[in-house]
Amino acid sequence: MGHAADGILLTDKGPGETSYGVVKKVKTLFRGSDPVKVGHAGTLDPFATGLLIILLGQGTKLSQFIMSAEKVYLATVELGVETDTLDPTGKVLRTSHVPDLRPEYIRESVDRFVGKIRQVPPAYSAIRHKGTRAYKLARSGQGVDLKAREVTIYSLNILSVNLPQITMRIRCSSGTYIRSLAVDFGRDLGPGGHLQSLRRLKSGPFDVEDALPSSEITDKAREGLLSKKVLTIRDALLDMGEVVINATLAEKVRHGYQPVWEELIVGPKRQTGIHSGLNDGWIKLVSNSKLVAIMKVNLEDEVSRVKTKIERVFSA
């Protein structure tokens, strides 16, 4: 059966906290009640702040869909100092003089980082390298040779220049390491640098302005959280198109049935094709206003050949 806390909770993580620490605080809200599974969609480093999406109950099944959304960050790069962790928590490796860089020159350099770029993830990251978290290898003094990967920077706007610090707003694809971007940007300018501060402003359709400060997650807040702050698993996927199905088909899907597209789209809707409302090939199946399943849809041609597969099923 579904749990009253199934869904997601938007939190604003404070400085110095770990993402897991926020998860633990949320778990304490359910002491003495039915066990509730709690996770998060996308780690924030302890020095960073901002939007951390907490997954509750069946909301933990949404991780891959929420984490794949684009992100928006507010970041400050400090030029002239490079650290081993690429952020202010690390050991200083190199310092250099920061020249009086013209704002026009800085903005020209920024333009080179917009679009599809390749970046090497930080050695101090949670990526697995030969079966072990990279940060564990780095902390033990072992070399970590991580491969470059392609990410997309949709926009990068300079907000202020107060050398040696440069503050910018970044909209990027999932999987982008802002620490690596800051270091590459600093080296492109000449003196090098590190990511001095970071705040996640948005993840997909969700905004930190709507989030609950993590400092306010207390036992006294439990009732208010459940009634006002937790978004249902259906509402957690605002950008994903949906198809309404009848109760009979919903029950079959919950018991493992894999419907074909023709069972979902009937009447006039069937003639319009499936392009409208799709988000990266995923759709929600909804019955009686509740999320039943998430389905993967693949077009084999423009009109008639549609392959479908149920990827996640949710109890009533």
The CATH number of the domain holding residue 54 is: 3.30.2350.10
Of 233, 248, 282, the residue that ends a domain is 233
Are 197 and 81 part of one and the same domain?
yes
Are 92 and 193 part of one and the same domain?
yes
Residue 254: CATH number of its domain: 2.30.130.10
Are 33 and 93 part of one and the same domain?
no
Are 49 and 64 part of one and the same domain?
yes
Are 148 and 173 part of one and the same domain?
yes
Task: Specify if 1 maps to a domain.
Answer: no
Task: Specify if 48 maps to a domain.
Answer: yes
Are 84 and 128 part of one and the same domain?
yes
Of 179, 202, 225, the residue that ends a domain is 202
8 A C-beta contact, residue 292 and residue 258:
no
Nearest to 236 by CA among 30, 110, 91, 63: 63
- Per the structure, the count of domains in the chain is 3
Say which residue the tokens 């006294």 belong to: 220
Distance (Å, whole) CA 78 – CA 161: 10
Domain that holds residue 301: 240-313
Are 91 and 113 part of one and the same domain?
yes
Are 152 and 170 part of one and the same domain?
yes
The predicted structure's pLDDT at residue 226: 63
Are 81 and 193 part of one and the same domain?
yes
**Which two three-digit tokens encode residue 149?**
């990967």
Task: Specify if 169 maps to a domain.
Answer: yes
Nearest to 88 by CA among 182, 225, 201, 206: 182
Of 150, 181, 202, the residue that ends a domain is 202
Are 164 and 229 part of one and the same domain?
no
**Which two three-digit tokens encode residue 229?**
């702050």
The predicted structure's pLDDT at residue 100: 93
The predicted structure's pLDDT at residue 272: 39
Distance (Å, whole) CA 61 – CA 4: 16
Task: Specify if 61 maps to a domain.
Answer: yes
Are 111 and 187 part of one and the same domain?
yes
The beta-strand segments (E) located in the chain are: 7-13, 38-40, 49-56, 71-79, 81-83, 92-95, 115-119, 128-129, 132-133, 149-162, 165-172, 193-203, 206-207, 212-213, 241-244, 282-287, 290-299, 306-313
8 A C-beta contact, residue 279 and residue 238:
no
Kindly report the pTM of this predicted structure. 0.87
Tell me how many degrees the CA angle 136-139-145 measures, rounded to the nearest 5: 70
- Cα within 13 Å of Cα(209), Cβ side: 3
Are 46 and 76 part of one and the same domain?
no
Distance (Å, whole) CA 88 – CA 81: 9
Active site residues: 45
Residue 5 makes CB contacts below 8 A (sequence gap 6+) with 30, 36, 56, 57, 226, 230
pLDDT in tens, the chain (316 residues): 345 579 999 999 999 999 999 999 998 887 766 778 999 998 898 999 999 999 999 999 999 999 999 999 999 999 999 998 899 999 999 999 999 999 889 988 999 999 999 998 776 656 654 555 555 555 655 666 667 889 999 999 999 999 999 999 999 999 999 999 999 999 999 999 999 999 999 999 999 999 999 998 887 666 666 667 889 999 999 888 889 999 999 999 999 999 988 888 654 443 334 444 444 588 999 999 999 999 998 876 555 567 889 999 999 8
Strand 49-56 and strand 7-13: the pairing is antiparallel
Distance (Å, whole) CA 138 – CA 132: 10
Task: Specify if 53 maps to a domain.
Answer: yes
